[in-house]
């Protein structure tokens, strides 16, 4: 297995669609190239929530990875999301991603885990270890928010990291800061050291201040330069400069992640269109178009962030 060390900003790209809802390969290529050219962005997530992975066909799932790898080159890491409900299917999808050129997978927990499976380590451990056993590819483990009810416990995270060598990073989305700090401290004490990548977009500065090796974010599809600047200032212990960047980001975080949160990536598509970085802001069913009133709020947030 090829070693992979993740650090800095890892944006999750969006999936551009045409008016007929077909995947727009040219726009996707342009979008990925723009992200890869940002200083501080050294890897990209394909087929994540931001990329509407569950709305893609199996063929499109492969196509997205192939376009990404062709755009950025063989030595640039592409991490593909794996969203499946059984370990066997997740391992199959991981092998599909690897064959298409992915350098790692972002492994989502099954939806069924929200019925209490994550309260212990047994089911999560068996799920992740089975995928690791059947798919020879580095794993970025997706740690969801506590509110989602599928967040792994601290003990579970430690058990998996210490015993599953395929795990190279944690996408750390814990929304409770004490729990986040507990996770960071426990993971830092592990013999097997993995990258801790913050992903709670409304708490990025406090998360990074506690500790983190970088940021994974769908918002990076729009504001990777700001995320990179934020991370650099925190790394340099320059709190005042970090606060200034965070202040610019704040209005966008408020509009991107407003209720209903399901619309967050639709809103990012609108932002890219307003910035002239995408031709259209179209998402597939079951998503619906952003209202003109909300589009105006997004436009105003871009103005407040000095991006428009």
Rounded distance between C-alpha atoms, residue 98 and residue 63, angstroms: 12
pLDDT in tens, 236-264: 999 999 999 999 999 999 999 999 999 99
In this predicted structure, the answer to whether residue 192 has a pLDDT above a threshold of 80 is yes
Report the relative pairing of strands 44-46 and 8-11 from DSSP bridges. Answer: unpaired
Tokens 């060598």 belong to residue = 165
Q: Cα-flanking dihedrals φ and ψ of residue 141, to 5°? A: -90, 130
In this predicted structure, the answer to whether residue 229 has a pLDDT above a threshold of 90 is yes
pLDDT in tens, 8-40: 999 999 999 999 999 999 999 999 999 999 999
In the prediction, which pLDDT does 265 show? 95
Closest residue by Cα to residue 28 from 60, 74, 55, 6: 60
Closest residue by Cα to residue 254 from 300, 185, 306, 195: 300
Is the domain 8-245 a CATH 3.30.70.250 member? no
Handedness of CA 291, 297, 303, 307 (dihedral sign): negative
User: Which spans in the chain are helix H?
Assistant: 25-36, 58-72, 87-100, 122-134, 154-163, 177-188, 204-210, 220-235, 239-256, 264-274, 292-304
pLDDT in tens, 130-176: 999 999 999 999 999 988 889 999 999 999 999 999 999 999 999 89
Other CB atoms within 10 A of residue 243 CB: 12
In this predicted structure, the answer to whether residue 125 has a pLDDT above a threshold of 90 is yes
pLDDT in tens, 64-117: 999 999 999 999 999 999 999 999 999 999 999 999 999 999 999 999 898 888
Q: What is the mean pLDDT of the chain?
A: 96
Q: Where are the domains of the chain?
A: 8-245
Cβ partners under 8 Å of residue 232, min gap 6: 40
Rounded distance between C-alpha atoms, residue 195 and residue 263, angstroms: 29
In the prediction, which pLDDT does 28 show? 98
In the prediction, which pLDDT does 66 show? 98
In the prediction, which pLDDT does 119 show? 81
In the prediction, which pLDDT does 115 show? 87
Rounded distance between C-alpha atoms, residue 141 and residue 139, angstroms: 6
Query: 8: which strand partners?
Result: 214
Rounded distance between C-alpha atoms, residue 77 and residue 73, angstroms: 9
In the prediction, which pLDDT does 3 show? 78
In this predicted structure, the answer to whether residue 121 has a pLDDT above a threshold of 90 is no
In this predicted structure, the answer to whether residue 2 has a pLDDT above a threshold of 80 is no
Number of H helices, E strands in the chain: 11, 8
User: Which spans in 73-144 are helix H?
Assistant: 87-100, 122-134
């Amino acid at each position: 297995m090829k070693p992979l060390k993740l650090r800095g900003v890892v944006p999750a790209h969006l999936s551009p669609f045409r008016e007929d809802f077909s995947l727009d390969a040219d726009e996707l290529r342009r979008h990925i190239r723009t992200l890869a050219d940002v200083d501080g962005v050294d890897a990209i997530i394909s087929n994540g929530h931001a990329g509407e992975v569950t709305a893609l066909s199996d063929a499109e799932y492969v196509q997205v990875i192939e376009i990404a790898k062709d755009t950025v080159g063989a030595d640039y890491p592409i991490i593909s999301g794996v969203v499946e409900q059984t370990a066997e299917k997740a391992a199959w999808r991981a092998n599909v991603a690897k064959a298409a050129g992915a350098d790692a997978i972002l492994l989502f927990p099954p939806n069924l885990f929200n019925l209490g499976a994550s309260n212990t380590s047994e089911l999560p451990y068996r799920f992740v270890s089975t995928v690791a056993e059947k798919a020879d590819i580095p794993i970025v483990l997706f740690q969801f928010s506590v509110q989602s009810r599928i967040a792994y416990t601290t003990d579970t995270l430690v058990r998996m990291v210490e015993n599953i060598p395929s795990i190279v990073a944690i996408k750390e989305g814990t929304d409770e800061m004490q729990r986040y700090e507990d996770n960071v401290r426990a993971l830092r004490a592990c013999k097997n050291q993995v990258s801790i990548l913050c992903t709670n977009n409304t708490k990025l500065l406090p998360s990074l201040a506690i500790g983190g090796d970088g940021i994974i974010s769908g918002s990076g599809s729009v504001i990777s330069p700001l995320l990179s600047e934020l991370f650099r200032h925190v790394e340099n212990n320059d709190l005042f400069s970090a606060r200034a960047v965070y202040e610019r980001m704040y209005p966008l975080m408020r509009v991107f992640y407003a209720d209903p949160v399901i619309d967050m990536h639709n809103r990012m598509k609108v932002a890219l269109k307003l910035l002239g970085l995408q031709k259209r802001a179209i998402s597939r069913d079951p998503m619906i178009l952003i209202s003109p009133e909300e589009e105006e709020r997004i436009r105003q947030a871009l103005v407040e962030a000095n991006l428009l």
